A and B are shown apart, each in its own frame.
Chain A
Amino acid sequence: MKKNSRRIALLVTLTLLLVAVFFLYDLTGNREYVLERRAYKVAALLLVAGSIGYSSLVFQTLTGNRILTPAIMGFEAVYLLFQTVIVFIYGDKTFRVLTESANFGWSVLMMLGFAVLIYLFVFRREKNNMYFLLLTGLILGTLFTTLSSFVQMLLDPNEFSLAEARIFASFNRMNTALLGYAAGAGALMLILAWHYHKYLDVLALGREQAINLGVNYKGVTLVFLFIISVLVSVSTALVGPITFFGILVTNLTYELFKTHRHSVLLPACALISSITLVAGQFLVEHLFNMTTTISILINFIGGVYFLYILLKAKKL
């Protein structure tokens, strides 16, 4: 118990320290302008880190599997397809036809609509089986990814570079209005989740134990799936897809905190996510001089770590 709170305190300190470095490192030129831009960037990083960390951890608890992220449900595939198709339709006029805000709004709507459709499909048919849900998401996700690759081949190189800018995650095209919406959505979800957090520890014991202990399993699962969908959709629409990030941070959390309590795991995971993202973005900007993107960096590190988990684990 004590050890855990000490570790949380350590993580908080580390996060604050990193944020400070991010703000103050190499502060040249118009200070006010640079600081303002960095403030938005840090806000976005923390928001996305919190959303992805939270939703990945809860998703792994619901599925009872530690190498899954909500990405398996196909959210990112829907986003990719949407971005590719609008560029295909409008070509280089895309961003005159569709403003940043409209694009953000439509992307979130598409992803949420997709999620609600497959929940309805799976839960209405009395299958109400988590793995059936995942499989449906996985198959549709693969279909959408393949479709977007196909459409990308039809684009001419100029248009393709427009689409490419959206396909890779980036914190550099930050739009303050969007950040406000995203923060609002995140706060709303946190309020909604508050009452349900006590069930998470029990859900981790599996469906049968949860029902035995008097949890309305189906209802609570649906609430959490909805919260996860909103958080993932919003952060994907905000910065683009970061697939491996969820696996990386949740497993680091389990490694550092030997507990089953979500009251410890959730804040810990949000902090570890924040540290990882802020540090990653810092490296991209100052060490790699923007020659790479944060999604490449994270997928590289995350991918290597993922292989390590797979090789290390005897049983998943």
Chain B
Amino acid sequence: MIEVKDISRSYGEKIILDEVSVSLPKGKVTSLIGSNGAGKSTLLSIISRLLKQNGGTVLLDSRDIDDYKTRILAQHLSILKQANPLDLKLTVRELVSFGRFPYSQGRLTPVDEEHVDRAIRYLNLQDIAGQYMDELSGGQKQRAFLAMVVAQDTDYILLDEPLNNLDMKHAVQIMKTLRKLCDEKGKTIVMVIHDINFASQYSDFIVALKDSRVAFFDTAERVIVPEVLQKVFDMEFKIVETEGKKICNYY
């Protein structure tokens, strides 16, 4: 379980997070939603130690993340950010191999190679494993980065807008993979996501942030209701149900 306790963060005068506390359940998919500037990405960055908080603690399996050695933490928790500009001459397989760095520090063992092979198969990248990253499309790139995270084999996987710049087909592909990682491998997925319908379809829990605080935290079922969403986003929502799934219409 990831326990966020009284996390505060501000940039100069501007308060981004104001004593935020929330417990993210293990083995589930949790989405962070909220309008721009609500502090979703900042919260994710603090949980993954990319950014220092001004106050408060983050506990991973009841232990402060600052008490973990950074290399050991990298074996328990991984983070994939939205922008991954790469102009290195790097093949897909080489990128995925980096996922094993926390374990082998650059010298791959046969066990590592196996993990890499499995991750490549998991994301269906066999055909392009030898291609250079800069020759790939956006969707393929995102899958390659996800394969790297899969090879890293951490219990907790954090993602910052994993669907950014992807078309519908690739977005669905990525979300299905994340769902599979949770259901089959018992991974805990925490992601920042903008598309409310993707959050509704694929997550177990939803955290809604508003005005630097957690406004709502509940099962997806109970957050995706007009009254709640209207409060979070300050706009009209209509929710239709088809085949037992809720779809938000806010256009």
Task: Identify the A interface with B (CB < 8 A).
Answer: 126, 198, 201-202, 204-209, 211-216, 254, 258-260, 315
B94 within 8 Å of A by Cβ? yes
**A211 to B101 CA separation, bound complex (whole angstroms):** 11
**A205 to B102 CA separation, bound complex (whole angstroms):** 14
**A215 to B98 CA separation, bound complex (whole angstroms):** 12
Query: Among the listed stretches B75-83, B116-124, B191-199, B243-251, which one makes contact with chain A, having 4 or more residues with CB under 8 Å of it?
Result: B75-83
Query: Among the listed stretches B84-92, B209-217, B234-242, which one makes contact with chain A, having 4 or more residues with CB under 8 Å of it?
Result: B84-92
- Across the interface, A198 reaches (CB within 8 A) one of B69, B79, B80, B105, namely B105
| 8 extra A-B contacts, CB within 8 A, seeds A204-B88, A214-B102 | A198-B107, A206-B85, A211-B50, A212-B79, A212-B152, A214-B70, A216-B70, A260-B89
- Across the interface, A212 reaches (CB within 8 A) one of B48, B69, B105, B106, namely B48
Among A211, A213, A214, A315, residue most surrounded by chain B Cβ atoms (within 10 Å): A214
Task: Identify the B interface with A (CB < 8 A).
Answer: 48-50, 52, 69-75, 78-81, 84-90, 94, 98-99, 101-102, 105-107, 152
**A315 to B86 CA separation, bound complex (whole angstroms):** 11
Tell me the smallest distance from the CB of A207 to a CB of chain B, in Å. 8
Q: Is the CB of A215 within 8 A of B79?
A: no
Q: Is the CB of A214 within 8 A of B106?
A: no
- Across the interface, B70 reaches (CB within 8 A) one of A126, A198, A204, A215, namely A215
Q: Is the CB of B94 within 8 A of A208?
A: no
**A213 to B48 CA separation, bound complex (whole angstroms):** 11
Whether A260 contacts B88 in the complex (CB less than 8 A), given A201-B106, A212-B48, comes out as yes
**A226 to B88 CA separation, bound complex (whole angstroms):** 25
**A312 to B168 CA separation, bound complex (whole angstroms):** 35
> Given the complex, which residues of B lie within 8 Å of A206, measured CB to CB?
84-85
A-B contact pairs, 29 of them (CB 8 A): A126-B52, A198-B107, A201-B106, A202-B98, A204-B88, A206-B84, A207-B50, A208-B50, A208-B79, A209-B84, A211-B48, A211-B49, A211-B50, A211-B70, A212-B50, A212-B74, A212-B79, A213-B101, A213-B152, A214-B72, A214-B73, A215-B70, A215-B71, A215-B101, A216-B70, A258-B89, A260-B88, A260-B94, A315-B87
Closest 7 CB pairs of A and B: A214-B74, A214-B71, A214-B102, A198-B106, A260-B88, A213-B101, A258-B89
Q: Is the CB of A205 within 8 A of B86?
A: yes
Q: Is the CB of A260 within 8 A of B70?
A: no
**A216 to B72 CA separation, bound complex (whole angstroms):** 11
Q: Which residue of A lies closest to B154 (CB)?
A: A212
Q: Which residue of B lies closest to A197 (CB)?
A: B106
Q: Which residue of B lies closest to A313 (CB)?
A: B87
> Given the complex, which residues of B lie within 8 Å of A211, measured CB to CB?
48-50, 70
> Given the complex, which residues of A lie within 8 Å of B70, measured CB to CB?
211, 214-216
Tell me the smallest distance from the CB of A165 to a CB of chain B, in Å. 41
Q: Is the CB of B75 within 8 A of A214?
A: yes
Whether A212 contacts B78 in the complex (CB less than 8 A), given A198-B105, A202-B101, comes out as yes
> Given the complex, which residues of A lie within 8 Å of B73, measured CB to CB?
214
Q: Which residue of A lies closest to B107 (CB)?
A: A198
> Given the complex, which residues of A lie within 8 Å of B89, measured CB to CB?
254, 258-260
Q: Which residue of A lies closest to B79 (CB)?
A: A212
**A225 to B88 CA separation, bound complex (whole angstroms):** 21
**A216 to B81 CA separation, bound complex (whole angstroms):** 18
> Given the complex, which residues of A lie within 8 Å of B106, measured CB to CB?
198, 201-202
Tell me the smallest distance from the CB of A10 to a CB of chain B, in Å. 19
Whether A213 contacts B90 in the complex (CB less than 8 A), given A208-B50, A208-B81, comes out as no
Tell me the smallest distance from the CB of A313 to a CB of chain B, in Å. 10
**A254 to B87 CA separation, bound complex (whole angstroms):** 11
Whether A205 contacts B49 in the complex (CB less than 8 A), given A198-B105, A259-B89, A260-B90, comes out as no
**A126 to B86 CA separation, bound complex (whole angstroms):** 26
- Across the interface, B101 reaches (CB within 8 A) one of A204, A208, A214, A260, namely A214
Among B49, B50, B70, residue most surrounded by chain A Cβ atoms (within 10 Å): B70
Tell me the smallest distance from the CB of B42 to a CB of chain A, in Å. 14
> Given the complex, which residues of A lie within 8 Å of B101, measured CB to CB?
202, 213-215
> Given the complex, which residues of B lie within 8 Å of A209, measured CB to CB?
84, 98
> Given the complex, which residues of B lie within 8 Å of A215, measured CB to CB?
70-71, 101
Q: Which residue of B lies closest to A201 (CB)?
A: B106
Tell me the smallest distance from the CB of B129 to a CB of chain A, in Å. 15
> Given the complex, which residues of A lie within 8 Å of B86, measured CB to CB?
205
Q: Which residue of B lies closest to A216 (CB)?
A: B70
**A209 to B102 CA separation, bound complex (whole angstroms):** 12
> Given the complex, which residues of A lie within 8 Å of B74, measured CB to CB?
212-214
> Given the complex, which residues of A lie within 8 Å of B81, measured CB to CB?
208
**A166 to B39 CA separation, bound complex (whole angstroms):** 55
Q: Which residue of A lies closest to B74 (CB)?
A: A214
> Given the complex, which residues of B lie within 8 Å of A207, measured CB to CB?
50
Q: Which residue of B lies closest to A213 (CB)?
A: B101
**A212 to B44 CA separation, bound complex (whole angstroms):** 13
**A127 to B17 CA separation, bound complex (whole angstroms):** 19
Tell me the smallest distance from the CB of B55 to a CB of chain A, in Å. 14
Tell me the smallest distance from the CB of B156 to a CB of chain A, in Å. 12
Q: Which residue of B lies closest to A200 (CB)?
A: B106
> Given the complex, which residues of B lie within 8 Å of A216, measured CB to CB?
70
> Given the complex, which residues of B lie within 8 Å of A258, measured CB to CB?
89
